[in-house]
Structure 1
Amino acid sequence: MRFQPWDRPRRGERPGTYLATSKDLLAWSQPVLLMADLETGSSDLRQLYPSLLDPAAPDRNFQVLGPHPLLFTVEVGAGRPPRERRLVARQVTLGLPR
């Protein structure tokens, strides 16, 4: 199973990190919202450059994901420059098809 996370929703979709899956890299599932951007009132936080990595992966390139990988994003404030950027890791649970 292959995963493709991205941070640019289609028109009309809620801003956030989406995930699609594929068994053959040709046919992909419909994207599902993995994590919505955070709306904090005074300034919105965007989650950019999503990557799924599993510290328990058996190879050094993190090509295998278990059911509880880490979602790494760069959190960016929506205010004026200079925008604060933070690297954030959150554990997620994936419902993997069998």
Structure 2
Amino acid sequence: MSSPSDAGLQAERTGLAWSRTSLGVAANAVLLAVRELTHDGPGPSLVLAIAAGVLAVVVALYGRRRTLRLRHAPLPSPLAADRAVPLLGGAVALLALVTGVVLALR
């Protein structure tokens, strides 16, 4: 249960978490692209870098939407995450796994 001084901070914390996630995914995309373009020209990892860039934009847009929903009073019902949150979380985890595999194989 939140205290009266905590009112409104849930939306801010949610927005910051989504921003950090999208920034991390975008950094992954940039680092993959730079690595790929500076080694032997474009290769298959460039597709992964583009996919990571698209994922970063999707995460940022969805996070913005979620943050705006939490700022409305009264809070929307249902407040629990829908299918998009686990789907995006799984996509970010899969991106991390595939990036690790790609970097280990090269």
Shared topology, TM-score over 0.5? no
Quick check: which one's helix share is greater? 2
TM-score range, shorter chain: under 0.3
- By relative contact order (CA 8 Å, sep 6+), the higher-ranking structure is 2
Quick check: which one's strand share is greater? 1
With structure 2 as the length reference, what TM-score do the two structures score?
A: 0.24
With structure 1 as the length reference, what TM-score do the two structures score?
A: 0.26
